[in-house]
Amino acid sequence: MACGGSGGDTDSGTLTATTTGMPTTTAPTTTPTTAGPETTDAETVDETSAETAAETMSETTDTEPGCGNGLVDPGEECDDGNDNNEDGCLDTCVAASCGDGFVQEGVEACDDGNQVDEDACLNSCTPAACGDGIVQEGVEACDDGNQVEQDACLNDCTAASCGDGFVQEGVEMCDDGNDVETDSCLNDCTPASCGDGLVQEGVEACDDGNDVNDDECTNDCTSAACGDGVVQQDEECDDGNDVDTDMCPSNCLNATCGDTFVLEGVEECDGGGETETCDEDCTAAVCGDGVLNMTAGEACDDGNMDDTDECVQGCVGAVCGDGFVQSGVEECDDGNDIDDDDCSNSCMINVQEVVYTGSFTQGMSTPANSQVCLDWVAFQAAIDQNTTYNSITLRGSQDNNGQVCTGSQANELCQALRTNQTLVGVNCNGRIWNTGPCGGGLELNAQDSNGDCSCPNPDYIIRPCIGNSNWGGINSATCGGTTQTIEVICSTI
């Protein structure tokens, strides 16, 4: 600093500019004056400003041009006088910008200095992230820039695929995100359905994946069973109901006699075979139905009501003593064990006959004491009221065959002779038989008309106790007849 003179003059201080990246200014040093007029504060300020400007000019004039001198020289976009590339001005005096390779602090999150949008830093100097719409190479499989999970790219930037748990619209019908094949969504992202070959748990009983309805799994994915309406290979029928009286019982076998099920309208019963109440042909067990049912106590069953064959009432075999005369085998069968009655215990007829034989001479009289009359009376008395006579014969030497009446009418006539009863007009075997009084005794005739005590010629009449010579005749004159023998027989055969 130089010494000043008097008279109020001041010496200006010397200014030195030092550049340390940004220009700095050192305040001028003012040497106070010792003499001169007084100055105001305003004047002092003006002087200071002028001096500062002068100093600045001096400093500018003294700094060398160049990037980094803190001064924006021609050709520079900026010059902040430092080498910090993270601020607004690079150390190349170019304004910081996205893509310059330097991360501008507070402005950019990243800056990789390239135009590749698929790396970790986008061309907008923001870090690559899922959902930014740009596929980061090696990191993301896709990036569609939206939050829609049903399109081809999920929100985690992985490509949509079957099994990711999201239903891709237009591509998948379902997606449950698991590998379970027995739930409602298959592993190929199609809905589970009957016939897909996979058994849906809790829904299907089976699923064989075919359209064969008569195998072990039906087409509605239910296990084949009798009663499902589908005839399986081991079934004869299956009508889908549990009615046991139709053509297909609940065992899925065709209805048949012997299956224990009564087929309505066809079977009367079905005991699964012969029972006390049901024949083996599934008709009700009835004696006489022609079906032998030994369980019901039948020894035979010929299906008829004929008691003269080998099988009689009650479906028992014919035997001697059952009261039925077996044709061609038995002569009789009175159903008792009395051997000396009309029918022996061997079912042979015990022939019982009461016979009258009288010899008559033409013109002879037959009073009550005559032999022919006495024999006649004895004959009448010999007829047994407890015996059933099945025939009465009136014959003689003039006709060995004579006239015969059989059946119940024969017994009536024999019993009438026993009791001296009058019978008129008994029509038997084409003749009119009569009994009645004539003379001193009872007459028997087999003539062509009713009545007695007449003399038809020829005819068949006997009256042994008449008391004159009109004792009758056989196939001859009946009054004053020719000599002949006359015979009357009441027989059990």
User: What SS3 state is found at 189?
Assistant: coil
Q: What are 79-96's pLDDT values in tens digits?
A: 899 999 998 899 899 999
Q: Strand pairing partners for 31? A: none
Distance CA 24, CA 56 (A): 10
Instruction: Give the Cα separation of 320 and 329 in Å (integer).
Output: 9
pLDDT-derived band at 62 (thresholds 50, 70, 90) equals: low
Tell me the C-alpha distance between 260 and 272, whole Å.
Answer: 4
Mean pLDDT of 471-475: 97
Let me know: does 366 contact 373? Beta carbons within 8 Å: yes
Q: What is the mean pLDDT of residues 4-15?
A: 38
For residue 193, give the 3-state DSSP assignment.
coil
Give helix then strand counts, H and E, for the chain: 3, 11
pLDDT of residue 118: 87
What pLDDT is attached to residue 7? Answer: 42
Residues in Cβ contact with 424 at an 8 Å cutoff, skipping those fewer than 6 apart: 434, 436, 450, 451
pLDDT grade, residue 133 (50/70/90)? Answer: confident
Task: Check pLDDT > 90 for residue 10.
Answer: no
Sign for the CA dihedral angle at 327, 328, 332, 333 comes to negative
CA–CA gap between residue 154 and residue 169 (Å, rounded) = 12
| This prediction's pTM | 0.40
In tens, the pLDDT along 322-362 reads 999 999 999 999 999 999 887 899 999 888 899 999 999 99
> Mean pLDDT across the stretch 421-430?
96
Q: Which helix (H) or strand (E) holds 419?
A: helix 408-419
* DSSP 8-state code for residue 259: S
Domain ranges of the chain: 353-491
- Cβ–Cβ under 8 Å, residues 439 and 467: yes
Kindly report, residue by residue over 201-210, the tens digit of the pLDDT.
999 999 989 9
Residue 166 has a pLDDT of 93
Q: What is the mean pLDDT of residues 34-48?
A: 43
Question: What is the predicted pLDDT for the residue at 31?
Answer: 40
- Rounded distance between C-alpha atoms, residue 184 and residue 83, angstroms: 67
CB 293 within 8 A of CB 301: yes
* pLDDT of 4 above 50: no
Q: Evaluate if residue 37 carries a pLDDT over 80.
A: no
Q: Which tokens hold the place of 155?
A: 């929100």
Mean pLDDT of the region 439-460? 93
Percent share of the chain, pLDDT over 90: 70
Determine contact, residues 215/208, Cβ cutoff 8 Å: yes
- The dihedral built from the CA positions of residue 236, 238, 239 and 241, taken in this order, carries a sign that is positive
Rg (CA), the chain: 77
Average pLDDT across the chain, whole number: 87
pLDDT at 296: 95
**Per-residue pLDDT for 474 more than 50?**
yes
Cis peptide before 458 (omega within 30 of 0): yes
Q: Exposure of 170 by Cβ count < 10 A (0-12 exposed, 13-18 middle, 19+ buried)?
A: exposed
Which one is predicted more confidently, 71 or 451? 71
pLDDT in tens, 340-349: 887 899 999 8
* CB-CB contact of 320 with 310 (8 Å): no
